[in-house]
Amino acid sequence: MSELAAALNSRRGDDLWREDIYDREMYPLKNQEILAAKPHLLSHQTILAITACTLIGLIALITLGPVSWRPQLAGANVDRFIGFLVLGSFLALAQPKRFFIVCTVIILGAVFLEYSQSFMRGRHGVLHDFEFKVIGGLLGAGMARALTGTIRIF
């Protein structure tokens, strides 16, 4: 009987140990380990995506707002080109594996902005402006893709 009691006692100890392993398998990380393993909330891609969204809003505001809000840096066409060049590069850096989608967003964004100008008083959408925006955006996205060296486009 004493051997049986000793075996039961050792089993209880083993069961407790196994229970700890079981809990460890169900909940693999303790609170301190979870906090240490938690990724940073603002990764570089998140910051680039936030910056790209901010640029989209600023470009839309400048494009659809009064002409007096437009910055006069070099000339209207150069400003359009540079604005979309920067936007395209930030979009492509934020989403390096989705190059085709980034290019589609740039083209559709330029179409939307030029078409929307038709409904604004004192503004007009012109194919010439659209071309500068698209060329600048696609060139910026292409330069960013060349810098990151990604191959996959979807």
Residue range 97-121: average pLDDT?
90
CA–CA separation, 134 and 19 (whole Å)? 62
Residue, of 108 and 11, whose pLDDT is higher: 108
Give pLDDT, residue 44.
Answer: 80
Cβ(61)–Cβ(113) below 8 Å: no
Per-residue confidence (pLDDT) for residue 7, from 0 to 100: 54
Q: Are 113 and 60 in contact (CB under 8 A)?
A: yes
Token pair belonging to 45: 């891609």
Burial of 137 (0-12, 13-18, 19+ CB in 10 A): buried
Q: What is the pLDDT of residue 13?
A: 47
pLDDT tens string 60-99: 998 888 877 777 888 888 888 999 999 999 999 998 888 9
pLDDT of residue 30: 52
In the numeric block, which tokens belong to residue 110?
């330029």
What's the pLDDT at 27?
A: 53
- The per-residue pLDDT for 46 is 85
Higher pLDDT, 53 or 126: 53
pLDDT digits (tens, 9 = 90+) for 21-68: 445 555 555 545 544 555 556 778 888 889 999 999 999 998 888 877
